[in-house]
Amino acid sequence: MRCPYCQSEDTQVKDSRPAEDGAVIRRRRVCPDCGGRFTTFERVQLRDLVVVKKSGRKVPFDRDKLMRSFDIALRKRNVEPERVERAVSGIVRQLESSGETEVAADHIGRLVMEALKALDDVAYVRFASVYRNFREAKDFQELLGELGGEEVAQEQ
C-alpha cells in the first residue's frame, strides 16, 4: 500500500481488525520512510466480476459506481448511511457468490431497484425512472400505482 504522504511503497501494517459491518478490514499502517500513519479499509474480493452491458460491451464491475447510483437516487433523502452500505454490500456479495464471473447490467439494475424499494420509495421511483427510461408522466403514474397497490395489499 502506497503512503499518502511520501508515496513510498514500503508501508507496514501495525494493526488489523474487521470493521463494524464485517465485510471490511481496517488496517492501521505506518511508513518507515516518513513516519506517516494512516488507515486503510480493505475488502475481500471473492472474484473479479465483469458487467455485460446491453450493447454487449464488457466492463469491470465497480463497487463505487454502484454506491454512486444509490447516492444519486437517495440524494436529500433521510436514509442512514449504514443501511445504504449494507444494501450495497449485500448486492456485491450476492453477485460474487452467484458463481458467475459475468453479470448482465440489467440484473444489477433489478437488484438495485429491489434494494431501493426497501430503503425509500422516492429513491426507488427516481432510479426506476432512469432505469426503465420513462418518457411520459403516465410511466410515473403506473409505477406509483404499483407502489400504492402493494401498500394496500400489505395493509390487508
pLDDT tens digits, 86-140: 999 999 989 988 888 899 999 999 999 999 989 998 898 888 887 767 777 777 7
pLDDT tens digit sequence for 18-27: 876 666 788 9
What ranges in 21-155 are assigned the alpha helix state H? 63-73, 81-96, 105-119, 121-131, 137-155
The pLDDT confidence band at residue 153, using thresholds 50, 70 and 90, is very low
Say if pTM beats, i.e. exceeds, 0.85.
Answer: no
- Say if residues 103 and 95 touch (Cβ distance below 8 Å): yes
- pLDDT given at position 98: 82
pLDDT at position 152: 37
Q: Is 56 left (phi over 0), alpha (psi -120 to 50) or beta?
A: left
Percent of the chain with pLDDT over 70: 88
Query: Smallest Cα–Cα separation from 117: which of 128, 107, 103?
Result: 128
Query: Which of 17-21, 73-77, 143-147 reaches the highest mean pLDDT?
Result: 73-77
Residues 5-21, mean pLDDT to the nearest whole number: 85
